[in-house]
Amino acid sequence: MIADTIKRVARDGYCLDPHERDSPDVLDADRFLRMPRDDAMRELGDISEQEYLRAYRAVEDAVLARDRAISAGASERPSIVIKKKGRRVTDITTLDG
Q: What is the pLDDT of residues 59-96, one digit of tens each?
A: 999 999 988 988 999 887 777 777 788 877 665 554 44
Rounded Cα distance between 45 and 70, Å, is 31
Beta pairing class for 26-28 and 81-83? antiparallel
Contacts of 13 (CB under 8 A, 6+ apart): 28, 30, 31, 34
DSSP letter at 73 equals T
pLDDT in tens, 12-24: 444 444 444 556 7
Please check whether residue 80 is in contact with residue 66, taking contact to mean a CB–CB distance below 8 angstroms: yes
Locate the domains of the chain by residue range.
2-85
User: What number of other Cβ atoms are within 10 A of residue 78's Cβ?
Assistant: 11
Across the range 34-57, mean pLDDT stands at: 94
What is the model's pLDDT at position 13? 43
